[in-house]
């Protein structure tokens, strides 16, 4: 939106000689609008002239400038953005200049879907040469708001469509060094499907599984397992690395069950904090997959059975469900449902 001083200096379209041939088209709200919107006079006039140009399909320099004014007043207007793209193509405008314009608009409106859509259109037109600029721009946006979904989505699209994978894992590493609880960075290094506040987990997983330079999940699993376990032990109540740990074995439960380090990290955490929801939940999943616990792990669960009014059922999995009903009261009904639907192979 223009500043008040800009508003004072603004010349109405009706007084601009270059627009004298255009008859503005007022908005039609019908004969009896229930709740008419009190538009500002400059906004109303701008949109009246935009409708005239849009209906005439005028793809000219002045039409392009008109869309600029309309966007500055309301950057969320889909129709104005759509028409601007038609005009840009018709005039064969330098899209590098258009990107500079978008830089300014986007930084003031970082969560505006229409702006990100337009930016992707520009990047797609420019091709691989745009990759570095786009990645740098998303980095700037994420420096202000590390969980901006639009920025993460755009960044992932750029990587897959235009390239730029070379430094992405290092970028994820830096984000997690700055904030180990940055859920979004954990997933650029997880496929979409986690909750909004787990965005960082998606980022790291995304890079590991999609980058053509790293060899895929199986090639990276051992090193990622070590990194994740270290993060868990440093902050057992941080849900992101627990989610990420399971993501490393997505679709491969047999390997998850046979990997001793997974059950061992659950054991280490539960020795320190017997009410750690994430350790108990992962251990429950392991038991449901057929995991055979060690005597030491059985002993820890037995100790939990005595410290909490848990189930008298002999199954460890049932005991864990009962404990989770107590330590995770918000989801107690879920854990009760899990307890009543344990697979026969669960210990």
pLDDT digits (tens, 9 = 90+) for 277-315: 999 999 999 999 999 999 999 888 888 876 655 455 568
What pLDDT does residue 197 have?
37
Q: Which residues are CB-neighbours of 133 under 8 A, at least 6 positions away?
A: 99
Distance CA 336, CA 66 (A): 61
Reply yes or no on whether 147 is catalytic: no
Contact 66, 50 (CB under 8 A): yes
Record the tokens describing residue 337, joined without a space.
Answer: 């449902």
Cβ count near 247 (within 10 Å)? 25
What is the mean pLDDT of the segment spanning 69-88?
A: 97
pLDDT(262) > 70: yes
- Interval 196-216 mean pLDDT: 74
Residues 111, 167, 271, 298: which is the catalytic one? 111
Q: What is the DSSP string of 170-222?
A: HHHHHHHHH-TT-HHHHHH---S-S-GGGTBHHHHHHHHHH-TTS--HHHHHH
- Residue 315's pLDDT is 84
What pLDDT, in 10s, does the model give residues 102-121? 999 999 999 999 999 999 99
Q: What is the mean pLDDT of residues 239-250?
A: 90
Give the residue from 136, 103, 139 showing the smallest Cα distance to 119.
Answer: 103
- pLDDT tens figures, 144-179: 888 898 999 999 999 999 999 999 989 988 888 887
CA 77 to each of CA 67, 73, 83, 118, 167: distance values in angstroms, whole numbers, following the listed order: 10, 9, 10, 12, 35
């Amino acid at each position: 939106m223009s500043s008040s001083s800009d508003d004072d200096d603004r010349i109405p379209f009706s007084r601009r000689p270059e627009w004298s041939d255009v008859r503005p088209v007022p908005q039609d709200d019908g004969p009896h609008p229930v709740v008419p919107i009190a538009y500002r006079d400059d906004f109303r006039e701008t949109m009246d002239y935009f409708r005239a140009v849009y209906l005439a399909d005028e793809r000219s320099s002045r039409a392009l400038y008109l869309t600029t004014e309309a966007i500055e007043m309301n950057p969320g207007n889909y129709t104005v953005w759509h028409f601007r793209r038609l005009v840009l193509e018709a005039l064969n405008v330098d899209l590098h200049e258009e990107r500079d314009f978008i830089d300014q608009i986007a930084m003031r409106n970082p969560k505006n879907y229409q702006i990100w859509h337009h930016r992707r259109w520009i990047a797609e037109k420019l091709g691989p040469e745009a990759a570095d600029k786009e990645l740098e721009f998303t980095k700037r946006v994420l420096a202000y708001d590390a969980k901006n979904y639009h920025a993460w989505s755009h960044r992932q699209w750029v990587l897959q469509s235009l390239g730029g994978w070379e430094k992405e894992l290092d970028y994820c590493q830096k984000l997690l060094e700055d904030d180990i609880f940055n859920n979004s960075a954990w997933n650029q290094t997880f496929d979409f499907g986690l909750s909004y506040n787990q965005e960082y987990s998606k980022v790291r997983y995304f890079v590991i599984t999609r980058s053509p330079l790293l060899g895929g999940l199986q090639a990276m699993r051992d090193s990622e397992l070590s990194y994740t376990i270290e993060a868990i032990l440093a902050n057992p109540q941080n849900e992101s690395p627990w989610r990420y740990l399971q993501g490393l074995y997505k679709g491969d439960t047999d390997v998850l069950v046979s990997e001793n380090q997974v059950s061992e990290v659950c054991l280490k955490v539960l020795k320190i904090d017997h009410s750690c929801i994430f350790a108990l939940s992962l251990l429950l999943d392991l038991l449901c997959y057929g995991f055979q616990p060690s005597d030491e792990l059985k002993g820890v669960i037995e100790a939990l059975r005595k410290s909490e009014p848990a189930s008298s059922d002999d199954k460890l999995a049932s005991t864990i469900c009962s404990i989770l009903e107590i330590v995770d009261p918000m989801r107690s009904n879920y854990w009760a449902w899990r307890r009543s639907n344990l697979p026969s192979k669960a210990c």
